[in-house]
Structure formats: structure tokens, C-alpha cells
Chain A
Amino acid sequence: MTTSDETGFDEFVAARSAALSRTAYLLTGDHHLAQDLVQAALVQAVRHWRRIHTSPEAYVRRAMYHQNISWWRRRKIAESPLESYDGAVPPPDTDLRLTLDQALARLTPKQRTVLVLRFYEDLTEVETARALGLSTSTVKSTTRQSLARLRTLAPELAELIGADA
């Protein structure tokens, strides 16, 4: 039997899953992982649907941000030493998008998430801080670090990102 809750959930999924999937891909850099991330956040949303059904998207997105960082921690991906990690990657392809994709993959999940929220979701520093449970100053510094790293990793993105002082 289909309940009104289930109907509301189905409508939300139909309307917003595509957008959520796109964000999930930017957060994870992996198509399969992005799919899993969206599903995990939706399952979590179902468990609390009664409470969040009036504005579920904020909850789902927040769940995705935190779940992604949690998964990353669980996988225990260690950062490479700074020299090799931050060494410029010779672009295998001249395609700027691919370069950006590869550079993003070398950011930490936190740096990547902050960048996605600030420059893709277009959230302000305050909104980003609230969504991730960070202080505004942390968001500021993380944003600065992320951009600096992108410049180091892919100098050809300088024009896209903006020149550093």
C-alpha cells in the first residue's frame, strides 16, 4: 500500500535526484560512488521523513556531505607526501574539464566539498559553514587552500580559477 509519505518521497526523488546525483559526483569524483552516496542519503531521509518532509533537500544534501567525508575516513585514504602530491600533473588531455576532474580528485574530501558548495552550489561562506558544521573562518581558509592547491596541481587552470597573488 502506498502511503502519502511514500508518494511525497517519490515525488521528491523524481524531482531532485538528478541534481543530487550531479553534486554527488563532484563530491566523490566517481560515478558509482556518487550513485551510492545519493542512495545512502535518500535511505537516511526515509528514516526521518516525517520530520523532514517539508524541506527534505537540505537534509539530503547535508547527509551527502557528511556521508562522503565519513566514507573517505573509513577508506583511510592517506594523503601523499606534499612534494609528490602537489606536483603538477602533466595533462594527459588538453581538455580543461578532464584536468579539473583529475585535480579535484587530488583534493581532500573536505577541500573538495567546500569547493563544491562554494562554487557549484553557490553557497555563501556562512551557509557552507552551517552545512558542514564548520566555522566560517575554517571555510575561508579551506577555500583558499583548495584553490591554491588546484593552481599547483594544474597550472593551466589558473585562468579558470583566477591568478594568485
Chain B
Amino acid sequence: MTSPSRTDLREELAALAETQPFSPDAAAWDRGRRARRNSRVARGAAVLAVVAIVVGVGAIAVRPDRQSVAPADVPGGALPSRVDLRDADFGADFETDFAIGRASVALGGNGFVLVDAEDGRYHQFGELADVLALSPDGYRLAWWSGKDLEHDSIRIADLRTGEITDVAGTSESASVTSMTWAPDSARLRWNGWGEKGARVAAWIDTTGSTEDIDVERFGARGIPSPSFDVVALDSGEEVAAAPFERAPEPGGREAGIPVDRALPADLHPDGAVVTPVGWADEDTLVAIIDPPPSDVVERPRLALLTSPDRPESEWTYREFLPRLPPEATSFAVDLIPDLTGDPDQQLTRDFTVAASEDSSDGDRGPLIAGALLALLAGLAFIRMMQKRA
């Protein structure tokens, strides 16, 4: 290939270019400055519009599921839809005033925590508690801090008044291993070991009177139903059926009659640890169900299960409060609403969503889509203005 005759081509191009007349535009400067001003104004307005849209979309789409700033109050209270200590916004100091009103959940450990039933807030107290129990109505909390500590007694706080009552355990100094409120929230039964190594148990009336009970008798362990006809027991291990005891026939044996209530095998083929926490009504137990560790199961959770006293054809089983932390052991079960049989009945309250709770994700869809369209339109507008400028 021969390279072009650069000089010749350039000369011809230059000659061609010389045919172009030159007529300068005196207004170029003014037009340029005007275009610059218009461009700035348009861009500023467009950026403001986009920022507004982005903020709006963000507020709608990224609205957190929990809002610690403005929790929604629920008159009378409710169980929270989630229990997570990461939601707690504890102050620098432990609280000392127990007059917090109704509580929904008690979480044990060093410095136990109560969840407010009406606003879902977390209250942390500096008391040590080896064992604690929140009454079914959520107005009383009982705890035992260990026999070697200052208060070698069971303490009961009235959450309405903040008043604390120390109740001497038994005639002998005992170690308390569990405490259970009667469905009336007025009596507390504790179980433990006596100084001589014997199992002991007693009922405590909130007025302070104590009655020792025979640990072998029906009702000396487990959580009794409101009628005391059946008692739900801790399974203590993974089981395929939740253990209960029925009341013995009058005049017969004093111990309860063991009866099992099968868990749904499809949900828990490997069984689960069943820990009763109370009764929602005469026929419905509330229990912590803790299946074995698995990639697909969120453990543990609360569940409602029909009492074995009912015919098996009536049994229902519903899980409703998943991902419980291990410290969450005691619940004010009276806060569960009267059961309607509707499997979708709302049993808990999401305190983290502010007043506009009814705005579900599905309702947000069109809003988000519309906002995104507006955002795209804004960006297109900016691009257009830049091109025009």
C-alpha cells in the first residue's frame, strides 16, 4: 500500500475549507451565559426533585420493621410479635422501680428484663434471678436469686405498684428450681430441693401465706389448666408427644395420670423439647417448642396446642412467636386474645411499627413502583436538560 499524498490532500482540503465564509456571532457570549444560568436552575430543580423522590422512596421502602422511637401503644397490652434483646434500648443504669405496669414477657439472666405489654419497651433490672416467673395476667413477677445471696427468699414484685414482697421459701432453706403461677395469677407454686436433698414444693399465696405440698401428688409439678383437670409437664428432652397428666379419680391414686399429646409429625419429624408456659384457655396450652437444631427450623418458638383432654379430632396446633431467645422463659399468657378458631387470628402485636400498622408490604408495592417511576422520570429529565444545555 502506498501512503496517501499527504501534502496534496492537505492542500486540497485547505482550499476546500477556505470556501467557508466567516461571520462571527457577537451574541455567543450572552447566549452561553444564559444557557449556563438556565442549565444551573434546571439542574438544581431536577436534583431537588430527585432527592425528594429518593427520600420518599427510602422512607416507604426502607421503613424499618421496628421503630424504637414511637412504638404503638396497645390498650390492655399484647404479646409482642418478636422478642429480641437487640431491640432493647437500655439506659446506662438498671431500672429500680418495678411499677412499670403490665408486662408481657420476662427474660431471665443476670439483670432480668421485662417487656412492657402496652408499648413493647424493654425494662432491665439489676436483680439477679436464677429462676423467675411472670404471672399469666402480667402484673406479678416472682424471682429467686439463689440461696447464698442476700435475699434467700422468693421475691414477688407487683408491677402495678412496684411493691416487692419477700416470701420465705419453706421452713427449711431450699434451692428453688422452678416456679409456676396458677392460672388465677394469685398463687405461685415453687419446686426445688430441700436442705436434706429431698424434693420439695409449696404453694405461696400473694398475701404471703405458704403451704407445703406433697411432691408426689397430682398438681405438685407442671402447669395446671384453669380447671386443674390437666397439668402440662416439661418434656425435658426431645419428644414426639407433649407430656400431660390428668387429675386422678377421686378416692383413687394421688398421682396424676400420664397422657401424651402428639406433636404434628410433619412439622417436627424429629420431635421437639416441649416447655409449657401457661394456658390460653381451658383447652389450649401455650408452650415453648424447641425442635432439634436444623438449617430450616427457627428454634425455639411459642405454640398453641389443644389439650389431650379434647377429642383428637378437635386438636389444633399453631406456632406463632418464632426465634425466641433462650432467656425468654415466661409469658403473660392472658394477653393471648380469646381464640376464635381462625388459623390466621392475630395473636401478637408488632410494637415496632408505628400507628400505620395496617400498611402491609403488599400495600406498599404500588407506592414503591410509582415512586421508582417518578425517580426514573426525574433522572431522564436531568439527562434531557443536560443535553439541551
A residues lining the B interface (CB < 8 Å): 6, 9-10, 13-14, 17-18, 21-26, 31, 34-35, 39, 42-47, 49, 96-97, 100-101, 104, 116, 119-120, 122, 147, 159-165
Q: Kindly list chain A residues whose C-beta atoms are within 8 Å of the C-beta of B6.
A: 119
Q: In the complex, which of the residues A31, A96, A97, A163 contacts B2, with contact meaning CB atoms closer than 8 Å?
A: A163
How far does the alpha carbon of A119 sit from the alpha carbon of B17 in the complex, in Å?
Answer: 12
How far does the alpha carbon of A21 sit from the alpha carbon of B10 in the complex, in Å?
Answer: 16
Q: Kindly list chain B residues whose C-beta atoms are within 8 Å of the C-beta of A14.
A: 24
Q: Kindly list chain A residues whose C-beta atoms are within 8 Å of the C-beta of B13.
A: 26, 100, 116, 119-120
How far does the alpha carbon of A14 sit from the alpha carbon of B25 in the complex, in Å?
Answer: 10
Cross-chain pairs A/B with CB under 8 angstroms, 30 sampled: A9-B28, A13-B24, A17-B22, A17-B24, A18-B22, A22-B14, A23-B17, A24-B20, A25-B19, A42-B28, A42-B32, A43-B31, A45-B32, A46-B28, A46-B36, A47-B36, A47-B389, A97-B16, A100-B12, A100-B16, A119-B4, A119-B13, A120-B17, A147-B4, A159-B8, A160-B4, A160-B5, A161-B9, A162-B3, A163-B2
How far does the alpha carbon of A37 sit from the alpha carbon of B17 in the complex, in Å?
Answer: 14
Q: In the complex, which of the residues A47, A49, A100, A159 contacts B5, with contact meaning CB atoms closer than 8 Å?
A: A159
Q: Kindly list chain B residues whose C-beta atoms are within 8 Å of the C-beta of A47.
A: 32-33, 35-36, 39, 389
Q: How far is the CB of A129 from chain B (nearest CB, A)?
A: 18
Which 5 residue pairs of A and B lie closest in terms of their CB atoms, listed nearest first? A46-B32, A22-B17, A25-B20, A165-B1, A162-B4
Q: Are B20 and A39 in contact (CB under 8 A)?
A: no
Q: Are A165 and B25 in contact (CB under 8 A)?
A: no
B197 within 8 A of A: no
B18 within 8 A of A: yes
CB within 8 Å of A: which B229-264 residues: none
How far does the alpha carbon of A37 sit from the alpha carbon of B28 in the complex, in Å?
Answer: 12
Choose among B3, B28, B35, B36 the residue with the greatest number of A CB atoms under 10 Å from its CB. B28
How far does the alpha carbon of A34 sit from the alpha carbon of B8 in the complex, in Å?
Answer: 23
Q: Chain B 15-46 against A: per-residue CB contact (8 Å), 1 yes, 0 no? A: 11111111111001101110110010000000
Q: Are B32 and A25 in contact (CB under 8 A)?
A: no
Q: Kindly list chain A residues whose C-beta atoms are within 8 Å of the C-beta of B39.
A: 47
A97/B15 contact (C-beta < 8 A), A21-B20, A24-B20 known = yes
Number of interface residues of B (CB under 8 A): 32
Q: Kindly list chain A residues whose C-beta atoms are within 8 Å of the C-beta of B35.
A: 43, 46-47
How far does the alpha carbon of A45 sit from the alpha carbon of B31 in the complex, in Å?
Answer: 11
Q: Are B1 and A160 in contact (CB under 8 A)?
A: no
Q: Inter-chain contact count A-B, CB under 8 Å? A: 96
Q: Are B1 and A26 in contact (CB under 8 A)?
A: no
Q: Are A161 and B4 in contact (CB under 8 A)?
A: yes
Q: Kindly list chain A residues whose C-beta atoms are within 8 Å of the C-beta of B23.
A: 35
A165/B2 contact (C-beta < 8 A), A35-B23, A42-B32, A49-B32 known = yes
Q: How far is the CB of B17 from chain A (nearest CB, A)?
A: 3
Q: Kindly list chain B residues whose C-beta atoms are within 8 Å of the C-beta of A165.
A: 1-2
Q: Are B22 and A9 in contact (CB under 8 A)?
A: no
Q: Kindly list chain A residues whose C-beta atoms are within 8 Å of the C-beta of B36.
A: 46-47
How far does the alpha carbon of A26 sit from the alpha carbon of B24 in the complex, in Å?
Answer: 18
How far does the alpha carbon of A21 sit from the alpha carbon of B31 in the complex, in Å?
Answer: 19
Choose among B2, B14, B17 the residue with the greatest number of A CB atoms under 10 Å from its CB. B17
A26/B16 contact (C-beta < 8 A), A17-B24, A21-B22, A43-B32 known = yes
Return the chain A residue nearest B17 by Cβ.
A22
Q: Are B24 and A6 in contact (CB under 8 A)?
A: no
Q: Kindly list chain B residues whose C-beta atoms are within 8 Å of the C-beta of A10.
A: 29
Q: In the complex, which of the residues B8, B20, B29, B389 contacts A22, with contact meaning CB atoms closer than 8 Å?
A: B20
Q: Are A31 and B32 in contact (CB under 8 A)?
A: no
